[in-house]
Each structure stands twice: as C-alpha cells, then as structure tokens.
Amino acid sequence: MKAMFPKLRFALLAATLLWIKTYIIYKLVFDIKTANAMQEFILCINPLSSLLLFIGLALFADKKRNRLILLISFLLSVLLLANAIFYGFFNDFMTLPVLFQTNNIPDLGTSIQELITYKILLMFGDVLILWFINRLFPNFGHKEKLNRNEKSAFFLTVTSIFIINLVLAETQHPQLLSRSFDRKTIVKNLGLYNYQIYDIALQSRSSAQHAFASSNEFAEIENYATTKEKEPNKALFGIAKNKNVIIISMESTQSFAIGNKVNGKEVTPFLNEFIKESYSFTNFYHQTGQGKTSDAEFIIENSLYPLDRGSVFFTHYANEFTATPEILKDYGYYSAVFHSNNKSFWNRDLMYPSLGYSRYFNQNDYIGTQQNSVGWGLKDKEFFEQSIPKLKALPQPFYTKFITLTNHFPFILDEKDRLIDEYNSESEILNRYFPTVRYTDEAIKYFVKRLKEEGLYDNTIIVIYGDHYGISENHNAALAQFLGKDQITPYDSMQLQRVPLIIHIPGQKGGTISKIAGQIDVKPTLLHLLGVSTNKTVEFGTDLFTEEANPIVVMRDGSFVTNRYVFTKNICYSKETKEPIEAAYCTPYAEKAKAELQYSDKIIYGDLLRFDQSNQHNSRAMTTAFE
C-alpha cells in the first residue's frame, strides 16, 4: 500500500479537494437538509465513489496523467457550476435532456448573468491549487505506472465505497432508484455525480421505450383513464358552445401576489376586479417540471403530466397527441399561438404542429422588438397591442393562446413602466418581482379593454393562468417577511406553488371556487364548457366545476395535495394543523400519485397515443409547417 501512495498522491488530492468542495456546495448552494446523523454521513460520503472513479480514469495514462487529472477536475467543476446556476433558477438539478436544449441558451442571457457571482466562480479554486502544485512541485505527482493489481485494488475500493453508500441510502429511502422523479432525494443520497450517471442510464431506457411500446400498454392506461369519474357539471356543460377562446399564460405569477399590496398599493388591481365577474380558483396549483412554461402549456392542453426529466417540447415533439387545439378542429375552430419570443425557444416551432395549432405568431411577426423589449422579449403591453389586429383577422370561432414575458426572472423593468415601488427585503429578486407582476396586470387590463372595443369580449371565454413559480425556495427568508411568517416550512412551500386560474365566461356571474385543482384539469374543464365530451379521451384531469369526494393534485416530483393532507419532501402534513403526521395517512394517495405519473410517462416515452383508435387525427401529417 505504501508503494501505491506516491503513484496515487496527486489523484487523491484532486479527489479530496473536489469532495470537500462538493460537500460545501451541497450545504451552501443546494441547501440540502438532513434529518439525522446517518443522513448527514451519507450526504458527506456520497460524492466520493464517483469522484474517485472519474479521477481514477487518469491512472491509465502515464506521462500526461497529471494533466488528465487537471482536465477531469476542471470538467467536474464545470458540471458542478452548471448545476449550481441551474439550481439557482429552477431549484432543481440538470438532466441529460436539459443539456440538449442549446437553442434556449441565447435567450437566457440576463437570467444566467444574474446567477453568476464571484462566489460561484470560486468553485474553480481547487483546480488552481492543483495547477500550482503540478507546476511548482512536479515530483508530488508521481508518474510511475500502476500495475494491474494496484489498479484492481483501487477500483475495488471505489466499488466498495459505492456499495456501502447505496446500502446505507436504501436503509433511509427504500426503493431509492425507482424514484427517478425525485432528483433531490437521489442527489442527497447517491450524490450529484452518481446521479448524472444514473440519469444517462434513464435516458437510455426511455429511448428504448418507444421501440418496444405496444397497443396492450395503451389499452391498460386507456382503461384506467376512461373509468375515472369524468362526468362534467351538467349545468355548465356546453354553456359556451361555439364561443371564441383566449388563454393567457401569466409568466411566473404565483397566487400570493394576487390581491396583495406592496407599500400600500395593490399588486394586481385589474385582476382583483376581473375576478369578481369571473370564476376564480383559489387552490389551483402549477404542476410543471424542468420544462417550466413549456410544461405548463403541455399540461394545460393535453391533461397529461410533464416528464420527470427535461421538456416534452424537446424530447418528444414528434409524438402523437390529442391536444385541445387538435380536438377543436373537428368543431370548426381555428387555432393560433401568440408569443413575441424566438420561434424556436422551447422548440415551439416543432411542437405546436404536433399539438394541432394552425398558426404561430412569433418574434418575426412583431415589429420594434428591440426598442420595446425588456428581459426575454417584447414588453407585455406592446405585445398585446400588436396582437389585437392579428387576433381580429383570425377566422371565428378561434382557440388562441397568449404567452406573456415581462414577469420573467430576473424581473427587470424600465423605470418608466413601474407602477409600484419595489418591495424592501434582503432579496433583490423578490423586491423586483412585484413591479413586474403589476406591469403584467396593467397589460392584461389594456388587452381586455381592446377586446371590448373590437367587439370580441362578449363572445369569448378568457382563461388566465399562472404557468409556474417565480420565486424559488432560495428566497424563502424574504418571502417569510412578506407573508408575515417566522419561516417558510415545506408545507408553506407547497402552498406557495398555487398559481392563479381565472375563467371568464360571457353571461356568467362567476364566483370563487376553493376546490383542490391543478393545471391538468384545465383541458377537460374547457372542453366541457364548449360542449365537447371527453369520456373517451385519455387524460388525467377532471372538470373543475364537478364536485369530487377525494380530489388530489399530483406534482411532478411525487408530492401531492388533497383536502386533508399535503405530502412533500417525503413528509406527510395535516392541513388542519399544518404539522407533520404519520406517513400512513398519505400512503394511499401516494400510491395513486405514483401510478398516474408512471402511466403518463409511459404514454409520452412510448408515444402510446398512436395506438388510440378513437383518435382519427394525425397532427404530424396534417400540419408540418406554419403559414
């Protein structure tokens, strides 16, 4: 063993420095919490096996071994940095499909710039230390080749460390490797680098699912989906038959901003009034995953769950879907999307035809975008103003979707457009959030006013929803201050995933509905209002206006909310006391949540809707390019 150490000295130093750095990042950037000493021990040792494995690859080299160790350390540091930046915005870890979303990168400039600080760049300090040691003390990195027995002993040790790690992790979280949707738990127990290897294996498995999918799989899921209680509210079924539809996606808007005030001024004065003449859902949750806005679009129009990794818009845009715009073509509807961003962002130019859209108004259809843009694209008011003539020219009835942009991280707004002052807290992100929400509220007010002037308002259903959270858990301290709480608990974090849903139906007075609901329920609700039956449609949502005995909203990470319980971060909470209770209370719902997520994944990964005999559409053949 003593003879081996000089040969391994430089490699072990590199692995140790990366190990220490990774653990620090776990605690300070990823804010990984542990419940007991064993979990802390697992968190501490979990990077070790993969770091030794990757660094150990350099041991097969001779003269250039130290340079290769430096290169591997640098690449692993880049991977750690990328995850730190990604986590800062999405509160999640990167997956392989995300790495292929390269055409999104040019539009992420302001968001990434906000997250890169000198503290993050210090993560390359260990690489600099290794470089100096290699330059100043060349004999420290012994270059003598390891013999076969020494290599075997090294990699046997690496394997042993991983097995010990895995066994200990399984004692804390049984069936850990079946929880692919719960990335945080896997990273917490197996480590970030082992997770990346695991993710590659998942990608290989999902790629094979399409080739081996069969109609029998679809039949099983179809039987489950079509036997669910799907009877719509009879009083409202068909109440809006042949009406136009306008859906407005409110970027990053959470429910805590609705009806609240900052410095004595309302954050959403227009929506506060609009709600009074509409149906407003106060317990409506976003259910997005890594695809964020694109996930929200996918859920809203397909009543399927998003993927546990990446975005359906990127990974499965060529699938067969039975989305709302495609279904409504049989009822004479013309469909269009309005979005002033790059047409390829989130792969929309390829995905929208698969959803059945006839027209996509994108950045190329708008003028003055540079002069009137902020952050991610055309400011919302200018966007709506230019969209009105395009909307009015569409054949009626139409089904349309408008995607707003101004209220996007990092929430930058020109001084002239600020209608309220920033909030005052330690979080600049939260402080800037409220003025941008206020601006979007004013833009929607303008849009509704124009709809009335153009004679479209009285013949149009207007659906307004929040697409995903805007303020991540990284800003919990500031959020606690705003909400008047001592701290934000996991229970509170789940409640903060509520987003607005407002449905305005011409001729209906509306009202406030407190039913537990999610984005997955919008498709059947809207189709029922339009008089379209969904009894034979494979979907997982239910009509929002129908009373349910045991409603459940399932999140992409396996968390869920019911009338009585909240399950999040593997903890079961009572909604009555807002305190943790025995896990057994949540177990029956957890099994249902897991089953639905797995069924939905099978539909997407296997492209199972191609086996749906009741679906006479073929969106890929029908629409291959936009007008």
**Type of residue numbered 476:** N
**Type of residue numbered 73:** S
* Burial environment of residue 292 by CB neighbours within 10 A (0 to 12, 13 to 18, 19 or more): buried
- What values do phi and psi take at 503, rounded to 5? -120, 115
Residue 293 bears catalytic tag: yes
Distance between CA atoms of residues 286 and 293, nearest Å: 10
Among the listed residues 542, 496, 90, the one whose alpha carbon sits nearest the alpha carbon of residue 294 = 90
Q: At what angle do helices 380-392 and 428-453 cross, to 10 degrees?
A: 30
CA quadruple 379, 382, 384, 389: dihedral, nearest 10: -150
CB neighbourhood size of 299 (10 A): 29
Max Cα-Cα span within the chain: 87
The continuous run of DSSP H or E covering 504 comes out as strand 501-504
Among the listed residues 429, 420, 501, 517, the one whose alpha carbon sits nearest the alpha carbon of residue 470 = 429
Whole-number Cα distances in Å, 314 to 104, 306, 338, 401: 11, 12, 19, 20
Distance between CA atoms of residues 624 and 68, nearest Å: 47
Distance between CA atoms of residues 547 and 545, nearest Å: 7
What six digits make up the tokens of 490? 């996991």
Determine which one of 268, 293, 542, 568 is catalytic: 293
Q: Which single residue is written with the structure tokens 């715009």?
A: 325
- Looking at the annotation, which residues are catalytic? 293
